[in-house]
């Protein structure tokens, strides 16, 4: 894929977001020794004629990108909640694992100077420029765009969690550890991504998520692809974050793989995992949370599918370490009066699995402190529906109190 197609692909993706990206939104891409940028003031609604080679031009952002080690792309944007933080001078600290890993421990505000912006992006993947916009960096446009969606979610969490007592930041030590593990763990996945993106592969077809536990392995693979795409479409996950599984039989489950964006998953990428010991078959590595999924299946023989999301409203409760009170009677009848909160554990650890299984008990789902939300059901269709209900219950609770506050 050449530079123009690559930029237009991700411009289209950001145009499809449910929120605006601001009047000064732009892309900067370093490719083949040159730097290209979209024109200012287009809100990413651009065509091939709006992409220019600016290698020889004078630009703070161009100079910063040119001098950043290991990064090839910048995204400039002022999304709604990031805009509030920029205008009010409110820094954003990592309260969830995804921000700690993808963006960094803290995103502060700096003046629009080369020295300040370069220093900030040398330490992390994002900075807010006073009175202007946020700048997100990445090893690819994909990474920079995912960082934007994660940081906008983090800004919303930072602001809205005030109505339930405020978000509780992760420790600096845990954040730095997760950041380093993330950079090492996903380096190969990112290289694979570049190779795939430069090819002309087709996107997977989207079908419907069907009810029923009696799926063949082939059908289960296709259903996981469809469910992953729909989770991404509805904003319940960002990038490679979150994971899904279905039970195949008493001994095995089928899981999404580690480190591959939902938009690029194919049925063949899904991994067969043994429930008893979390060992797996094939070349693909399953999700790092496979132990959590396996533990739920082992403890709950009636469960046919498990979905873990990083959805925005549920994540506000995760950041505040608070349960969700389900206020709508019809939803409460389906998912329970309260969605409990599990104590924190680092991603992929036994502590996280044990804490989550304990909080989940015999219920439909639970909030995972500093992490997200997990849900289970009799099949993938049932679980997907319940995920949506938990997110909506959390959204209703927060939005009503947020509106009263403002």
Active-site residue list? 289
- What is the C-alpha to C-alpha distance for residues 197 and 190, in angstroms, rounded to an integer? 10
Indicate the DSSP class of residue 203: P
Long-range contacts of 162-167 (CB under 8 A, 24+ apart): 162/405, 163/398, 163/401, 163/402, 163/405, 164/316, 164/317, 164/320, 164/322, 164/398, 164/401, 165/320, 165/322, 166/320, 167/93, 167/95, 167/316, 167/319, 167/320
Go through 131-169 and write b for each residue having 16 or more CB atoms within 10 A of its CB, e for each that does not.
Answer: eebbbbbbbbbbbbbbbbbbbbbbbbbbbbbebbeebbb
- What is the C-alpha to C-alpha distance for residues 39 and 121, in angstroms, rounded to an integer? 22
Tokens of 38: 């979209």
Tokens of 200: 């002309």
Indicate the DSSP class of residue 171: P
């Amino acid at each position: 894929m050449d530079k123009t197609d690559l930029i237009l692909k991700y411009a289209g993706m950001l145009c499809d977001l449910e929120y605006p990206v601001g009047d000064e939104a732009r892309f900067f891409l370093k490719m083949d020794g040159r730097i290209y940028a979209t024109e200012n003031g287009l809100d990413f609604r651009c065509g091939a004629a709006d992409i220019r080679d600016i290698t020889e031009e004078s630009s703070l952002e161009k100079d910063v990108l040119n001098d950043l080690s290991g990064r090839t792309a910048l995204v400039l944007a002022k999304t709604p909640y990031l805009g509030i933080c920029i205008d009010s001078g409110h820094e954003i600290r990592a309260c969830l694992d995804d921000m700690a890993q993808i963006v960094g421990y803290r995103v502060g505000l700096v003046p629009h100077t080369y020295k300040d912006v370069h220093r900030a992006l040398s330490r992390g993947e994002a900075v807010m420029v006073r009175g202007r916009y946020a700048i997100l960096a990445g090893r690819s446009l994909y990474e920079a765009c995912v960082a934007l969606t994660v940081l906008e979610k983090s800004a919303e969490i930072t602001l809205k969690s005030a109505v339930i007592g405020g978000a509780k930041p992760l420790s600096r030590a845990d954040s730095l550890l997760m950041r380093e593990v993330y950079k090492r763990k996903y380096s190969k996945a990112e290289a694979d991504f570049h190779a795939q993106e430069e090819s002309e592969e087709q996107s997977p077809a989207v079908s419907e998520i069907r009810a029923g536990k009696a799926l063949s392995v082939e059908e289960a693979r296709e259903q996981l692809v469809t469910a992953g795409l729909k989770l991404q479409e509805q904003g319940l996950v960002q990038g490679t974050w979150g994971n899904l599984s279905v039970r195949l039989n008493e001994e095995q489950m089928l899981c999404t793989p580690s480190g591959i964006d939902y938009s690029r998953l194919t049925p063949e990428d899904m991994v067969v995992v043994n429930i008893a010991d979390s060992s797996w078959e094939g070349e693909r590595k399953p999700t790092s949370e496979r132990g959590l999924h396996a533990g739920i299946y082992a403890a709950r023989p009636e469960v046919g599918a498990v979905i873990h999301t990083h959805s925005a409203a549920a994540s506000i409760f995760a950041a505040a370490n608070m349960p969700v009170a389900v206020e709508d009677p019809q939803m409460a009848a389906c998912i329970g009066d309260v969605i409990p909160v599990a104590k924190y554990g680092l991603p992929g650890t036994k502590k996280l699995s044990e804490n989550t299984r304990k909080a989940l008990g015999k219920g439909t789902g639970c909030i995972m402190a500093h992490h997200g939300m997990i849900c289970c059901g009799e099949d993938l269709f049932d679980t997907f529906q319940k995920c949506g209900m938990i997110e909506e219950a959390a959204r209703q609770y927060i939005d009503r109190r947020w509106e009263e506050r403002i």
